[in-house]
């Protein structure tokens, strides 16, 4: 049980750390030394902060100061290299955090550096590039098409859009014809997957920028989406900013990587609704940027549609990219799947999205979980097109990841492809997120602190 008299360093910013050291008679510069040790060196005890004098370490110990590092209780390793961590806190509660060594393609098309890397990886990945386009068309070309349609006849891509290269133009859909460089990169990817299976740790600075950490913001979730395993838990409590950041620090240390030398993508898409724990989430994001060293352009937060907080979030000085869970094409269906829609319906949600202040090269992402025979019909796709008209956005399609207690089924591959085609033909960039860690209940919508192994294939 957590002692309320103790002070945890994880979650404190520079100003708070300066106040802490000031309370024991030390000068403010000590705050920087503590921040470096806690967030970059990831020490586990005050005694390990070697830049502080023994006298100061003793003073902090007397004051009840701890690092507050969460503990990794269990690890589950997928066939595809994904790792699902069960991470415990001092009060006995726990959440799940997921490490995806090659990401899941969720960043593709969002206008960021991470998105461009995801696009290139999808184009070169010989086994799982659902985001790859037919007929050799590049993702950059699709985005240009969307921009042209949304801006009513613009004749060329905006200066910030990535341009279609000669290599894009010559690439075939099945990638049978590869340049020596592509062959070499494919071999590197295969070797990388072998290393992951062997659980070798990458050297610092060698991460290629595709690895993604999916973190939780609450113990459980109150939103009650009918297709999500986490909803079955209900909500236990909010995580503190330190507990949110602590998940990242624990995984980085376990994987032997260290930002900013290693480029890591971060998604607030684990257990919980971040915008229902808004203040702690925003503070955690700021600490992850300023202290841990993860660029905000490499972070994405997903919300089920807490409209007032979407409006607040647009005004934050430091903010990850925004993803909105859509999951239905009309109010009746969305209310059935996401009861939250009763409070903030699609009209309100779309108005908030249209008013959201986008930065240079930024696109809003809409997440759409496809449920077999429920929301995956061509008519649903056409309704989505109308909903998103006039919004600078892209859509991530997620074929349902199954789990016990979920009544819905995974749609057929052909229905997913048809849905994607309708969106793309209307000028909306649409991508299919690759399921990662499905065999260990680590994929999107599967986080439920499950200790047994799933029977679903990893894919």
Residues 259 and 296 both lie in one domain: yes
Tens of pLDDT, residue by residue over 406-434, are 788 999 999 999 999 999 999 999 999 88
Q: What is the pLDDT of residue 289?
A: 98
Higher-pLDDT residue of 149 and 260 is: 260
- Where b means 16+ CB within 10 Å and e means fewer, 39-68 reads bbbbbbebeebeebeeebbebbeeeebbbb
Q: Is 133 domain-assigned?
A: no
Q: Is 89 domain-assigned?
A: yes
Give the separation between CA 359 and CA 281, rounded to whole angstroms: 20
Mean pLDDT of 123-133: 38
Share of the chain above pLDDT 70, in %: 71
Residues 298 and 318 both lie in one domain: yes
- Where b means 16+ CB within 10 Å and e means fewer, 275-292 reads bbbbebbbbbbbbbbebb
Residues 88 and 55 both lie in one domain: no
Q: What is the pLDDT of residue 147?
A: 53
Q: What is the pLDDT of residue 201?
A: 46
Q: What is the pLDDT of residue 433?
A: 86
Using 50, 70 and 90 to split pLDDT, how confident is the model at 200?
A: very low
Give the separation between CA 212 and CA 433, rounded to whole angstroms: 13
Residues 291 and 261 both lie in one domain: yes
Q: Is 450 domain-assigned?
A: no
How do the residues of the chain divide into helix, strand and coil, expressed in percent and rounded to 5? 40, 15, 45
pLDDT at 182 over 80: no
Mean pLDDT of 357-376: 95
Q: Is 129 domain-assigned?
A: no
Tens of pLDDT, residue by residue over 136-178, are 445 555 555 555 555 554 343 333 333 333 333 334 334 444 4
Instruction: Please give the DSSP secondary-structure letter assigned to residue 277.
Output: G
Give the separation between CA 219 and CA 93, rounded to whole angstroms: 7
pLDDT at 109 over 80: no
Maximum alpha-carbon separation in the chain = 70
Lowest mean pLDDT among 74-83, 374-383, 438-447: 438-447
CA separation (Å) from 124 to 99, 132, 264? Answer: 22, 9, 20
Tens of pLDDT, residue by residue over 18-33, are 999 999 999 999 999 9
Higher-pLDDT residue of 380 and 186 is: 380
Mean pLDDT of 363-372: 96
CA separation (Å) from 76 to 85, 148, 257, 389, 391? Answer: 7, 45, 19, 41, 39
Residues 254 and 335 both lie in one domain: yes
Q: Is 271 domain-assigned?
A: yes
Q: What is the pLDDT of residue 320?
A: 97
Q: Is 125 domain-assigned?
A: no
CATH code of the domain in which 58 resides: 1.10.150.530
Higher-pLDDT residue of 411 and 3 is: 411
pLDDT at 311 over 90: yes
CATH code of the domain in which 208 resides: 3.20.20.70
- Residues annotated as catalytic are 96, 444
pLDDT at 225 over 50: yes
Higher-pLDDT residue of 159 and 38 is: 38
Mean pLDDT of 129-142: 44
Residues 239 and 324 both lie in one domain: yes
Using 50, 70 and 90 to split pLDDT, how confident is the model at 185?
A: very low
Q: What is the pLDDT of residue 60?
A: 96
**Into how many domains does the chain fold?**
2
Give the separation between CA 411 and CA 224, rounded to whole angstroms: 21
Give the separation between CA 154 and CA 174, rounded to whole angstroms: 31
Residues 276 and 214 both lie in one domain: yes
Q: Is 455 domain-assigned?
A: no
Q: What is the pLDDT of residue 457?
A: 45
Which residues on adjacent β-strands are paired with residue 219?
A: 237
pLDDT at 180 over 80: no
Residues 56 and 77 both lie in one domain: no
Residues 288 and 340 both lie in one domain: yes
pLDDT at 65 over 90: yes
Q: Is 265 domain-assigned?
A: yes
Residues 352 and 410 both lie in one domain: yes
Give the separation between CA 116 and CA 408, rounded to whole angstroms: 33
Q: What is the pLDDT of residue 439?
A: 65
Domain span including residue 422: 71-109+183-440
Residues 364 and 230 both lie in one domain: yes
Task: Give phi and psi for 364, each to the nearest 5.
Answer: -75, 140
Give the separation between CA 437 and CA 104, rounded to whole angstroms: 10
Residues 58 and 100 both lie in one domain: no
Q: What is the pLDDT of residue 144?
A: 55
Q: What is the pLDDT of residue 442?
A: 57
Higher-pLDDT residue of 68 and 183 is: 68
Using 50, 70 and 90 to split pLDDT, how confident is the model at 222?
A: confident
Task: Give phi and psi for 16, each to the nearest 5.
Answer: -65, -40
Q: Which segment, 161-175, 208-222, 277-291, is predicted with the most confidence on average?
A: 277-291
Q: What is the C-alpha R_g of the chain?
A: 22
Using 50, 70 and 90 to split pLDDT, how confident is the model at 309?
A: very high
Q: What is the pLDDT of residue 2?
A: 61
Q: Are 386 and 346 in contact (CB under 8 A)?
A: no
């Amino acid at each position: 049980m957590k002692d309320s008299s103790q002070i945890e360093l994880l979650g404190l910013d520079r100003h708070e750390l300066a106040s802490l050291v000031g309370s024991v008679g030390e000068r403010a510069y000590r705050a920087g030394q503590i921040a470096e040790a806690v967030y970059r060196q990831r020490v586990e005890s005050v005694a390990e902060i070697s830049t502080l004098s023994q006298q100061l370490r003793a003073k902090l110990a007397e004051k009840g100061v701890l690092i507050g590092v969460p503990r990794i209780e269990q690890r589950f390793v997928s066939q595809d290299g994904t790792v699902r961590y069960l991470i415990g806190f001092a009060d006995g509660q726990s959440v799940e955090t997921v490490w995806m060594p090659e990401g899941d393609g969720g960043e593709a098309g969002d206008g960021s550096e991470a998105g461009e890397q995801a696009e290139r990886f999808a184009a070169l990945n010989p086994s799982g590039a659902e985001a790859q386009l037919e007929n050799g068309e590049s993702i950059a070309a699709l985005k240009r098409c969307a921009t042209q349609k949304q801006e009513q006849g613009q004749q060329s891509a905006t200066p910030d859009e990535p341009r279609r290269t000669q290599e894009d133009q010559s690439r075939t859909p099945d990638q049978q014809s590869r340049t020596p460089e592509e062959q070499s990169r494919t071999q590197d990817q295969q070797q990388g997957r072998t290393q992951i299976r062997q659980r070798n740790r990458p050297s610092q600075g060698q991460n290629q920028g595709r690895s993604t950490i999916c973190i939780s913001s609450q113990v459980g979730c109150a939103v009650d989406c009918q297709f999500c395993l986490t909803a079955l838990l209900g909500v236990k409590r909010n995580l503190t900013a330190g507990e949110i950041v602590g998940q990242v620090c624990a995984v980085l240390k376990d994987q032997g990587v260290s930002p900013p030398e290693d480029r890591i993508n971060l998604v607030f898409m684990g257990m919980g609704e971040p915008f229902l724990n808004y203040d702690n989430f925003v503070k955690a994001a700021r600490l992850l940027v300023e202290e841990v060293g993860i660029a905000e352009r490499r972070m994405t937060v997903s919300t089920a549609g807490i409209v007032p907080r979407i409006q607040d979030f647009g005004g934050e000085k430091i903010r990850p990219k925004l993803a909105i869970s859509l999951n239905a094409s009309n109010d009746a269906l969305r209310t059935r799947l996401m009861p939250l829609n009763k409070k903030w319906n699609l009209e309100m949600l779309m108005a908030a999205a249209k008013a959201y202040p986008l930065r240079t090269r930024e696109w809003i992402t809409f997440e759409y979980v496809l449920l077999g025979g429920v929301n995956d019909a061509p008519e649903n796709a056409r309704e989505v097109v109308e909903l998103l008209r006039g919004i600078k956005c892209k859509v991530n399609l997620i074929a349902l990841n199954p789990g016990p207690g979920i009544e819905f089924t995974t749609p057929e591959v052909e229905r997913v492809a048809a849905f994607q085609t309708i969106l793309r033909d209307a000028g909306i960039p649409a991508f299919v997120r690759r399921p990662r860690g499905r065999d260990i209940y680590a994929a999107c919508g599967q986080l439920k602190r499950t200790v047994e192994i799933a029977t679903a294939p990893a894919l």
